[in-house]
Amino acid sequence: MDAEGFLPDARFVASPNFDARPAGCTIDLIVIHAISLPPECFGGPGVEQLFTNCLDPLAHPYYAGIHHLRVSSHFLIRRDGCIEQFVPTIQRAWHAGVSSWGGRERCNDFSIGIELEGSDTQPFDAAQYPALAELIRAIVRRHPISDIAGHCDIAPGRKTDPGPFFDWPLLATLLR
């Protein structure tokens, strides 16, 4: 992770959906998400299109309801473990929405968002876990991370990702 918050090994796809973090903000939380577009479909350009405001509302019935969203994450880990980056980590990506962690609201202010291409209904690909662990290690070298949480943990009742198939014990083992 370089000084500007870019991961050199990632494919960078610029998202306009970010802004500056609050002054003096410490980046100490990683938020794990899961996403697939269309839902349950992997490998297509839907997520990139959503994060770059290029989603065609006519391309899939589901897209009509989400194409207007202005969202992003810092990173996306595809099913094959390849990492894409949309926002430099020193900037505030719009991934968490209404959220709270450790008594602090607006987790976007102080977190880094990592999306895994996946869903609530099927296992993640084995290739995604080592890629995630490697990414987390790179982030930890650059930012004083103290917690890793799921989107479901910071927005309970509103969000379920990364879902029941995300293997938290495996991630913990890989980070050991």
Q: Applying CB under 5 A, which residues contact Zn ion?
A: 33, 151, 161
Q: Per residue in 30-67, is it b (16+ CB within 10 Å) or e — as a string?
A: bbbbbbbbeeeebeeebbbbbbbeebeeebbeebeeeb
Q: Looking at beta carbons only, is 68 or 141 nearer to Zn ion?
A: 68
The CB-of-151 to Zn ion minimum distance in angstroms stands at 3
The CB-of-162 to Zn ion minimum distance in angstroms stands at 8
Calculate the alpha carbon distances from 32 to 40, 58, 112 in Å: 18, 29, 9
**91-93/100-101 β-pairing:** unpaired
Among 4, 40, 48, 115, the one annotated catalytic: 115
The CB-of-124 to Zn ion minimum distance in angstroms stands at 14
Q: Looking at beta carbons only, is 27 or 34 nearer to Zn ion?
A: 34
User: Is 117 an annotated catalytic residue?
Assistant: no
Q: Looking at beta carbons only, is 88 or 113 nearer to Zn ion?
A: 113
Residues designated catalytic: 115
